[in-house]
Amino acid sequence: MQAHHMPPVPRDTLLRRLRAILPGHCLLTDTESQRPFECDALTIYRELPLVVALPETVEQVQQVLRSCHELGVPVVARGAGTGLCAGAMPHPEGVLLVLAGLDRIIEVDPLARTARVQPGVSNLAISAAVARHGLYYGPDPSSQIACSIGGNVAENSGGVHCLKYGLTVHNILALELLTVEGDRVTIGSQGLDSPGYDLLALMTGSEGLLGVVVEVTVRLLPTPQAAQVILAGFDSVSAAGDAVGAVIAAGIIPAGLEMMDRLAIQAAEDFANAGYPRDAEALLLCEVDGTREEVASCSAIVAALFRELGATSIVVSADEAQRARLWQGRKCAFPAVGRLAPDYYCMDGTIPRRQVSRVLTAISALSEKYGLQVANVFHAGDGNLHPLILFDASSSDEVRRAEQFGADILALSVEVGGCITGEHGVGLEKLRQMSHQFSPAELALLEDIKHAFDPALTLNPGKGVPILKRCQEYRALPARHSHD
């Protein structure tokens, strides 16, 4: 059951095979044109592949996979490159398979509320295409303008609305998948479940390690009649945390429930002028949606709860324009914080909600320890915490401190009963932290699952799950990356 020890394939051999499959403009072989593909949105990890392939049809993808399988060449699939865990970073001895060109919406069935789309279609394009039917696609990661649905499946993307509407895994019905051998198989169905193992769940969030998705059938939701945002400032993080618990305890599942800390509030307000309270230590944005009657009744309850629990300021959106403006600050939070330093490093642990105060206090102490500022943006409804560590990537010392700071936050997340990644994925970035989360026996089983789909370990090697049992000397990524 050992992986083959194949020597790296000569680049010429590989290129000859690929040129027989793809027209010239679909292959990038020189460093200059490959440069934009050297990393995903976690830019501190960079690598150039042997070749970038930009297929335009499913058949081309299939043939590329077949050839790579025969030659034992690693394949890294990539969508829009908005990922945040270096999951789409190229392999230096492999093919970077860019699926962005497969960007067709194949079919929309408004009555059945489904859409069949190619993997390169952007998340937002799906909602835009079905809006005239009064429908939309639920998961809305903050990169939704750019990120592709194929990448969403690979990462099991969430967004600000997932407490109520679920993650990618809850909003897809079927996948057309190519195995590492290039075999095409349908996973899931047009029904709500399928016989046999739930390979749809297994594939979702598998980070391109188990197969290549070439078509996705998504479920669509009716657009709510109305939505309203309640913004509240608090003079402590713990007061805001209590207010979050109170909303849930009142039996309300908000469409979105976001928290930001002082530094994030100020950065967002400087950037977006959304009307956030600059003097608050913490801010909550709570969106309720549904029928008009439901929204009116829920937003009154939420505003009253916030007042009761010591909110220092409250704004309830009066119309759509104000609702959009209140969200604007939160949606710009990452780039806004990004202006405070040359670079920022976004963490993604999930914690039990009741631990938020403890965790933020500990993060603040770590910020002192490492001498790096941190702003916190929190999907408070589902416990997913995004500390943004500010640093300067041109200083190797700061990079090291930022990485260590991040690692400490993840260890802390596990310690309080949470996990190392809520929605960004493990990729290359959190490979080391997998052993905080899982025992050796658990890691061995994850490795066996990888092996079940990809016996030669050529799909996105060196990412997602550590390979411990099987020798992987050749497959492993080089220990050094360009930032070292």
Partner 1 sequence: MTDRSGEMAATIADAASRQQALYICGGGSKRQLLGRDCPGQELTVWGHSGIIDYQPSELVLTARAGTPLAEIVASLEREGQMLSFEPPLCAGRATLGGTVATNSSGPARPWAGSARDMVLGVQLLDGRGQLLNFGGQVMKNVAGYDVSRLQAGALGTLGVLSQVSLKVLPRPEHSLTLAYDMDAAAAIDSMNRRAGQPGPLSGACWLDGRLYLRLSGAAAAVDHTAAHWGGERLAGGADFWLQLREMTLPFFAGDEPLWRLSIRSTAPPPEFHGPALIDWGGAQRWLRGELDFAALQRAAAQAGGSATLFAGGDRGGQLRPAPDAVTRRLHERLKQAFDPLHILNPGRLYDFL
Which stretch, 11-19, 59-67, 305-313, 418-426, contacts partner 1 (CB under 8 A)?
Answer: 418-426
* Position 460 contacts partner 1 (CB under 8 A): no
Of 13, 33, 43, 189, the one binding partner 1 by CB under 8 A: 189
* Position 143 contacts partner 1 (CB under 8 A): no
How far apart CA 121 and CA 152 sit, in angstroms, is 10
Span 218-257, contacts to partner 1 by CB under 8 A? 222-225, 245, 248-249, 251-253
Which stretch, 141-149, 256-264, 426-434, 469-477, contacts partner 1 (CB under 8 A)?
Answer: 426-434
How far apart CA 35 and CA 376 sit, in angstroms, is 31
Of 66, 354, 432, 483, the one binding partner 1 by CB under 8 A: 354
Of 59, 279, 397, 448, the one binding partner 1 by CB under 8 A: 448
What is the size of the binding site for partner 1 (CB under 8 A)?
Answer: 95
* Position 313 contacts partner 1 (CB under 8 A): no
Measured from the CB atom, is 289 or 398 closer to partner 1? 289
**SS (HEC) of the chain:** CCCCCCCCCCHHHHHHHHHHHCCHHHEECCHHHHHHHCCCCCCCCCCCCCEEECCCCHHHHHHHHHHHHHHCCCEEEECCCCCCCCCCCCCCCCEEEECCCCCCEEEEECCCCEEEECCCCEHHHHHHHHHHHCEECCCCCCCCCCCEHHHHHHHCCCCCCHHHHCCHHHCEEEEEEECCCCCEEEEECCCCCCCCCCHHHHHCCCCCCCCEEEEEEEECEECCCEEEEEEEEECCHHHHHHHHHHHHHCCCCCCEEEEEEHHHHHHHHHHHCCCCCCCCCEEEEEEEEECHHHHHHHHHHHHHHHHHCCCCEEEECCCHHHHHHHHHHHHCHHHHHHCCCCEEEECCCECCHHHHHHHHHHHHHHHHHHCCCEEEEEECCCCEEEEEEEECCCCHHHHHHHHHHHHHHHHHHHHCCCECCCCCCCCCCCCCCHHHHCCHHHHHHHHHHHHHHCCCCCECCCCCCCCCCCCCCCCCCCCCCCCC
* Position 320 contacts partner 1 (CB under 8 A): no
Span 374-413, contacts to partner 1 by CB under 8 A? 379, 381-384
Of 57, 236, 297, 312, the one binding partner 1 by CB under 8 A: 297
Of 15, 362, 449, 476, the one binding partner 1 by CB under 8 A: 449
* Position 204 contacts partner 1 (CB under 8 A): yes
Residue 84 burial (CB count, 10 A)? 23
Query: Is-contact 347 372, C-beta < 8 A?
Result: no
Measured from the CB atom, is 28 or 209 closer to partner 1? 209
Span 4-63, contacts to partner 1 by CB under 8 A? none
How far apart CA 479 and CA 477 sit, in angstroms, is 6
* Position 274 contacts partner 1 (CB under 8 A): no
CB of 201 to partner 1, least distance (A): 4
* Position 321 contacts partner 1 (CB under 8 A): no
Of 134, 342, 371, 478, the one binding partner 1 by CB under 8 A: 134
Span 108-127, contacts to partner 1 by CB under 8 A? 109-114
* Position 133 contacts partner 1 (CB under 8 A): yes
List CB contacts of 70: < 8 A, sequence separation 6 or more: none
Measured from the CB atom, is 50 or 61 closer to partner 1? 61
Measured from the CB atom, is 338 or 422 closer to partner 1? 422
How far apart CA 162 and CA 254 sit, in angstroms, is 10
CB of 318 to partner 1, least distance (A): 20
CB of 446 to partner 1, least distance (A): 5
Which stretch, 9-17, 98-106, 186-194, 228-236, contacts partner 1 (CB under 8 A)?
Answer: 186-194
* Position 193 contacts partner 1 (CB under 8 A): yes
CB of 413 to partner 1, least distance (A): 9
Angle among Cα 70, 74, 78 to the nearest 5 degrees reads: 120
Which stretch, 91-99, 139-147, 419-427, 475-483, contacts partner 1 (CB under 8 A)?
Answer: 419-427
CB of 1 to partner 1, least distance (A): 10
* Position 79 contacts partner 1 (CB under 8 A): no
CB of 52 to partner 1, least distance (A): 26
Measured from the CB atom, is 331 or 424 closer to partner 1? 424
CB of 373 to partner 1, least distance (A): 26
Which stretch, 76-84, 97-105, 177-185, 395-403, contacts partner 1 (CB under 8 A)?
Answer: 177-185
